[in-house]
Structure 1
């Protein structure tokens, strides 16, 4: 009995397509972080080591590529909240996740706005809701532990950290961003008991 070459070719093509897609998303993340959401799609294809045709087969327009990059990063950010919930103290999980969220917000500035403006009628990516849910998870645990203020909301934290990211967009503002986040974390702590 001879092997069917078509049967073996299909899985190899699917693997190649998946790897190309992963390389394109990784390259797009780097290029968008360097040049913003209006970066050259040809530069992204070159960095991924594929031709423009391969890019457009996976992502027919800029918005679909921006959506893939942002969705991938938000999934990773939210997964980080779950990892920290399972491995760190409530207070440490909150601080480390907010630090990760600030890094994300500073690196991906403008991408959410570009998604909203690029193509009217396209399905929106509800990034805000997913991030607020992750913040609610780590904040709620810290509140139940008594280490975070009971009157603080996840929406408050997301808005504060987003404000820090927007006001410290230049690379040299990294130390200022860290200082402002430290102030937010100090304000987030519950008042000392018996004081």
Structure 2
């Protein structure tokens, strides 16, 4: 793909993640084109149907999150990585849920989105394991429990008007509940 076409594609996907992440299926390809600074024909040249664009934006979201989580896992401080990971996943979870809800049909995620989601979960599991070995997270916490807590706060963020400071305090409660008890 030519460099300019690749740059257009990336701007379109970034705009789609923002537009569909905020508005779900009600988001328009016209708004995506406007935010990306391209014509609507350029959007459709890259993504022939709106559902193709939404799926690609969801894949971009997962790929970006997986890269961020892998970077955290490679860092020197497992406790800080854990804190950043949970805050990042909750902070971006509403976008993911809204993008997923904008996909047509009720047959679940497309196979590529499932695979991308699984890559994120594997990376999250590594950060969790490191934090547990470091003593920052209780050893009894499972990835399924962590995902349930993250999804709960993400779902609340996606469906309710929550003040940022309230969400931050709720995340603090989740992190405290997952931390290794003293003694």
Query: What is the match of residue 184 of structure 1?
Result: 174
Secondary structure in structure 2 of the residue aligned to 1:152: coil
Query: What is the match of residue 164 of structure 1?
Result: 153
User: 2:77 aligned with 1:89, yes or no?
Assistant: yes
Number of residues paired by the alignment? 181
Once residues 66 and 167 of structure 1 are traced to their aligned partners in structure 2, the CA distance between those partners, rounded to angstroms, is: 22
1:90 CA displacement:
1.0
Query: What is the match of residue 16 of structure 1?
Result: 4
Say if 1:92 and 1:22 are closer, same or farther in 2 by CA, change over 3 A. same
Query: What is the match of residue 153 of structure 1?
Result: 142
Instruction: Tell me which of 131, 139, 160 is aligned to 1:142.
Output: 131
5 Å-filtered alignment, 1:124-143, equals 125-126=113-114, 127-143=116-132
Instruction: Tell me which of 75, 93, 104 is aligned to 1:105.
Output: 93
1:119 CA displacement:
8.1
1:86 CA displacement:
2.2
Secondary structure in structure 2 of the residue aligned to 1:109: helix
Once residues 120 and 83 of structure 1 are traced to their aligned partners in structure 2, the CA distance between those partners, rounded to angstroms, is: 29
Larger mean Cα displacement after TM superposition, 84-93 or 159-168 = 84-93
Bigger relative CO (Cα 8 Å, ≥ 6 apart): 2
Secondary structure in structure 1 of the residue aligned to 2:137: coil
Instruction: Tell me which of 47, 70, 77 is aligned to 2:35.
Output: 47
Say if 1:41 and 1:116 are closer, same or farther in 2 by CA, change over 3 A. closer
1:75 CA displacement:
1.4
Query: What is the match of residue 8 of structure 1?
Result: none
Please, what TM-score do these two structures have when normalized by structure 2? 0.87
1:60 CA displacement:
1.3
Secondary structure in structure 1 of the residue aligned to 2:113: coil
Say if 1:123 and 1:62 are closer, same or farther in 2 by CA, change over 3 A. farther
Higher Rg: 1
Once residues 73 and 109 of structure 2 are traced to their aligned partners in structure 1, the CA distance between those partners, rounded to angstroms, is: 37
User: 2:156 aligned with 1:175, yes or no?
Assistant: no
Once residues 88 and 12 of structure 2 are traced to their aligned partners in structure 1, the CA distance between those partners, rounded to angstroms, is: 23
Query: What is the match of residue 7 of structure 1?
Result: none
Query: What is the match of residue 117 of structure 1?
Result: 105
**Residue 168 of structure 1 contacts residue 176 of structure 1 at CA under 8 Å; is this kept in 2?**
no
